Amino acid sequence: MSTPFDLTGRRALVTGANTGIGQAIAVGLAQAGAEVICAGRRACDETVAMIADVGGTASSMLVDFTDPMAGQGLFDDQPIDILINNAGIIRRNDAVDFTEADWDAVMDVNLKALFFTTQAFARAVLARGGTGRVVNIASLLSFQGGIRVPSYTASKHGVAGLTKLLANEWAAKGINVNAVAPGYIETNNTEALRADPDRNRAILERIPAGRWGAASDIAGAAVYLCTPAAGYVHGAVLNVDGGWLAR
Query: Which residue numbers are catalytic?
Result: 152
Whole-angstrom Cα distance, residue 26 to residue 15? 9
In the sheet that 132-137 helps form, which strands lie side by side, from edge to edge?
A: 57-62, 35-40, 11-15, 82-85, 132-137, 175-182, 237-240
Instruction: Decide if 139 contacts 181 (C-beta within 8 A).
Output: yes
State the chain's maximal CA–CA distance in angstroms: 58
DSSP 8-state assignment for residue 102: H
Nearest CA-CA partner of 125 in 158, 192, 165, 174: 174
Instruction: Decide if 140 contacts 183 (C-beta within 8 A).
Output: yes
Whole-angstrom Cα distance, residue 48 to residue 27? 8
